[in-house]
Structure 1
Amino acid sequence: MAKTPAGSARAYPADAVELSEYFAPQRTSAAVLPDPEPFVRNITRGVLEVLAGVREVDQLARWLMEDPYRKLVTRANLAARARSARGIPAKRPVHQIVSVRHSSPADGVVEAVVVVRGIARTRAVALRVEGFDGRWRTTSLALL
């Protein structure tokens, strides 16, 4: 039973609960998903381009869950503000992916670390990707 704003109890029909579960994102087994390494490489490149200011974060929205998307938007805005304050224009980053390491702690879940070498420094990108609705989606993202 759920409470309405007035505080009275209200019962939802069982069909409504089943429908909400049916339309929620559905987990996908790794057996039907493609190899995760190209996805991990591409999402890493995309994230670095967003932070450099040459790609819109909305272009990655399809492959990011809500939490990593919001964090990336915040970080991209801070990077844009810092570039603006210093008068530095956005330019395409030059990066080389040094290594990709990934493991699967559960079916349809991959945790990966991508080491990326740039002109000024080497960085690590840690990702957790999970299979939802027949494709990989990033559920956690950290740029170190």
Structure 2
Amino acid sequence: MFVQDALALGFHGDRDLVDNAPSTPLPDPAPWVRGVAQALIEVMAGIRPPASVVRLTTPPVYVAVARRYGATVRRAATRSPAGTGPAVATPTGRGSRRLAVLRIHCSCTRADTAEVAVVLVDGSRVRAMALELTALAGGWRVSALEIA
């Protein structure tokens, strides 16, 4: 059980996900996942609040992304010069640091599941992100996330 302030949330695995093939055809995940991947890397970099991706992810993925956001913000606060307050990330990506999705490759493994490989630019580094998407109410939700 994850407790946030006075609201207790119980995570019950994947019970909220659709586990049968969808009754209507799902949209192509490629256009949707580009924006989602960008939002996820911005949250993990401390640029965007975690609440902005809560509806796009399953609870376990959201918790992992929110923890990474918290660690990034705490690390930035300890690096700020004395007396200037915490170093807050800006929407431009903290000065010269660039965060961008370069390329995506989608593969539908089943009617209700897709696997996505994403190539990212994170400052001067090129990184890889792997996502698993699961069908939910006629759309997609990120059910697994790995970054290398």
The one-letter code matched in structure 2 to 1:78 is: A
Counterpart for residue 66 of structure 2: 73
The answer to whether the Cα contact below 8 Å between 2:17 and 2:135 also exists between their aligned partners in 1 is no
What secondary structure does 2:143 align onto? strand
What amino acid is aligned across from residue 63 of structure 1 in structure 2?
A: L
Q: How far 1:24 moved relative to its partner?
A: 4.7
- 2:76 and 2:88 in contact (8 A); partners too: yes
Query: Shift of the alpha carbon at 1:142?
Result: 1.4
What secondary structure does 1:103 align onto? strand
Q: What is the Cα deviation at residue 134 of structure 1?
A: 1.4
Partner of 1:102 in structure 2?
106
- Match of 1:34, as an amino acid? P
2:38 paired with 1:45: yes
Cα RMSD (Å): 2.0
Q: Distance in 1 between matches of 2:16 and 2:89?
A: 38
Q: Point out where structure 2 has 5 or more consecutive residues left out of the alignment.
A: 1-14, 81-86
For residues 130 and 16 of structure 2, what CA distance do their matches in structure 1 show? 26
Which residue is equivalent to 1:143? 147
Equivalent in 117, 134, 139 of residue 113 of structure 1: 117
Give the CA deviation at 1:118.
Answer: 3.2
Shift of 1:31: 5.5
Work out the number of aligned pairs and report it. 122
Verify the 8 A CA contact 1:30 1:107 in the aligned structure 2.
no
Give the TM-score normalised by structure 2.
0.74
Equivalent residues of 2:24, 2:138 under 8 A apart: no
Deviation of residue 91 (structure 1)? 2.1
Once residues 145 and 34 of structure 2 are traced to their aligned partners in structure 1, the CA distance between those partners, rounded to angstroms, is 13
The TM-score with structure 1 as length reference comes to 0.76
**Are 2:37 and 2:101, in contact at CA under 8 Å, matched by a contact in 1?**
no
**Which of the two has higher C-alpha Rg?**
1
Cα 1:52–1:105 shift into 2, 3 Å? same
Q: Quick check: 2:44–2:68 contact (8 Å CA) kept in 1?
A: yes
Q: Which has the higher helix share?
A: 1
